[in-house]
Chain A
Amino acid sequence: MLSLTKITKKFGGVTALEDVSFNVESGTITGVIGPNGAGKTTLFNIATGLYSQDAGNVYLGEQNISRMPPERLVCLGMVRTFQNVELFGHMTVLENVMVGLHTKSKSGIFSCAFKLPGQRREEKSIRSRALKWLEYTGIADLAGMTAGSLPFGKGRLLEIARALAAEPRIILMDEPAAGLNSRETMGLAELIKKIKDSGITIVLVEHDMELVMDVCDAVVVLNLGRKLAEGTPREIQENPEVIAAYLGDG
């Protein structure tokens, strides 16, 4: 579904990523783990078009999506969430998800200003579809709240609902469990499995090992900008190199 080949990225003299390649199989959950500074978020930013790599390519299916801007990637079926939760803070919860449907609607400035019949119909459909995604993620009761005043855990769910609204084939989640308590993390694990069962491929960057081992089908380990290992969660847990990278091998 998603494959990265020999991605290299330098910031000035610092090599953030070097020759990183891996594949994400369709319909699976792949975890990307590694110590702080391993290059996980940089990798996400490259895959989703926010940064451009110095070398290497990113493929979505058969299509080379290297250097495509993020707004085009949504149309090809790839969305992401952010580590620090990037919500539209002054808008309501429902409106946030309605923005998620931006690529699923097409009324322009003119038809919106004059409320042409097609636009009215589309607006109704945007609203009901957005509500459906709020129900799917279990936050429909918060629809009228301002997104900026949501508790952190609910904000995370809203970001996922907004991403789902774009009807993606693949979602990249940057540390979805960061800042969540253990009950919220359990709920998140259920939600992630539910999304996978609906046929959407998921890639996670995550620090919470319990979550990774629970939900992931495959795990890629990065360390200091290089791929250290990849395999099933069980293989990774037993890999001596990975253990050394995490604990420090003195």
Chain B
Amino acid sequence: MTKEQRDILIFTAFGLVVLVTPLLLQGNYLLNVFVFIGINTMLAVALNLLLGFAGQISLGHAAFFGLGAYISGILTTRYAIDPWMAMVAAAVCVGVMAFIIGFPILKLKGHYLAMATLGFGIIMYIVFNETVAWTGGPSGMSGIPNLALGPLIFDSDMTNYYLIWVFTLLTMLLSINLANSRIGRALRAIHDSEVAARVMGVNVRLLKVQIFTVSALISALAGSFYAHTMTFIAPASFGFNFSVELVTMVIIGGLGSIYGSFLGAAILTLLPEFLRVFHDFDIVIYGLLLIVMTMFMPGGLIGGFEALAAAIKRRKEA
């Protein structure tokens, strides 16, 4: 079996499990949690393209998520634009914005890049809070319409689940394709040795900006989906804490692993459900998780599984 055939098999199996799951969970509140896992997976995959593949940090991705949600919310509630059109408009706006700020920001490296993206995230968070006339400020914005396809309106947990997961699976599939292409290889090359990548003809500066744009665009789409499925949004969902949470998802799952992003998103979405007693300490727990993971499992859960599988195989052969 070639690597490509194996990838197709794994993806098909994963997709089938995802599509069958709600039939087993009918009426269960977990279905609603699974909708969130889908949105968070989309976000984690988007950030992984930037962080896991190209090796460029962003501590401001919650802002792109928020921009997508607010642009969708404002266009549909104030201007009565069709939600699907609003979604496309939000993605285009955020993509253009990311492309423009990407050029100066991505000249920075390491801590400086982290600080610049962090600053961007905080500025956007302030904008969401202060432009009360547009966003409703801290008390949020309600009455955002659901998405609809003809007579089918996505307003229940079941319909939302399928809506979100079809797009999440699509995002995962396209990202897997990208990872195994010349662009994916060029991104990983930048991660390993920027100077060698340049000497081999990779336009490092442009490629970084392009993947930053794609990553922001997917985050904005996730934001639009979030707005139209929740029908209510508030700035608290798009702050610094959420940016850190996204980075944690990517690192726990495994840098550069698309399925890892799903695992990370699933764990960080489910964890608060089971650990409600720790609620106020969630950011502390995420910090600890990050430290433990980077110290003992730098490849994330997927990297850990792979190492374990290799060790078992060696033992069997010995």
Contact = CB atoms under 8 A, between A and B. Distances in A.
A77 B188 CA distance: 23
Nearest to A126: B182
Interface string B178-208: 1001111110110111011111111110000
B257 to A, nearest CB: 12
Interface string A80-112: 101000111111000100111111010111001
Interface stretch (A10-18, A68-76, A131-139, A202-210): A68-76
A119 B181 contact: yes
Contacts of B178: 109, 112-113
Interface in B44-69: none
Given A90-B192, A105-B182, A100 B200 contact: yes
A77 B211 CA distance: 27
Contacts of A79: 199-200
Contact of A71 (B177, B201, B211): B201
Interface string A111-132: 0111100010011001000000
Contact of A91 (B183, B188, B211): B188
A162 B200 contact: yes
A71 B188 CA distance: 16
Contact of A115 (B177, B191, B198): B177
A interface bracket (residues with beta carbon within 8 Å of B): 35 or more
A154 to B, nearest CB: 16
B201 A103 contact: yes
B175 interface: yes
Contacts of B192: 87-91
B222 interface: no
Nearest to A148: B192
B177 A99 contact: no
Interface residues of B, number: 28
B210 interface: yes
B220 interface: no
B174 interface: yes
Given A107-B181, A109-B183, A102 B202 contact: yes
B214 interface: yes
- Greatest chain B CB density within 10 A among A71, A87, A166 is at A71
B188 A90 contact: yes
Contacts of B201: 71, 74-75, 102-103, 166
A48 B177 CA distance: 33
A50 interface: yes
Nearest to B173: A113
- Greatest chain B CB density within 10 A among A74, A102, A123 is at A102
B199 A70 contact: yes
Nearest to A100: B200
A112 B175 CA distance: 9
Interface string B86-122: 0000000000000000000000000000000000000
- Greatest chain A CB density within 10 A among B181, B193, B200, B211 is at B200
A107 B196 contact: no
A99 B195 contact: no
B193 A112 contact: no
A222 to B, nearest CB: 22
A74 B191 contact: no
Contacts of B182: 98, 101-102, 105, 107, 112, 122-123, 126
Contacts of A87: 192-193, 196
- Greatest chain A CB density within 10 A among B189, B199, B202, B204 is at B199
A69 B195 CA distance: 11
Contacts of A122: 182
Interface string A20-37: 000000000000000000
B196 A71 contact: no
Nearest to A79: B199
A122 B180 CA distance: 13
Contacts of A98: 182, 185
B204 A71 contact: yes
A111 to B, nearest CB: 8
A113 B174 CA distance: 5
A102 B214 CA distance: 20
A70 B181 contact: no
- Greatest chain A CB density within 10 A among B174, B197, B198, B211 is at B198
A200 B200 CA distance: 17
Interface of A: 48, 50, 69-71, 74-75, 79-80, 82, 86-91, 95, 98-103, 105, 107-109, 112-115, 119, 122-123, 126, 162, 166
Given A71-B198, A75-B201, 9 more contacts: A70-B199, A71-B203, A80-B199, A90-B192, A99-B197, A102-B182, A107-B183, A108-B183, A122-B182
8 contacts: A79-B199, A88-B192, A88-B196, A91-B188, A112-B181, A113-B178, A113-B181, A162-B200
Pick the 5 closest A-B CB pairs, nearest first: A112-B181, A74-B201, A103-B201, A86-B196, A88-B192
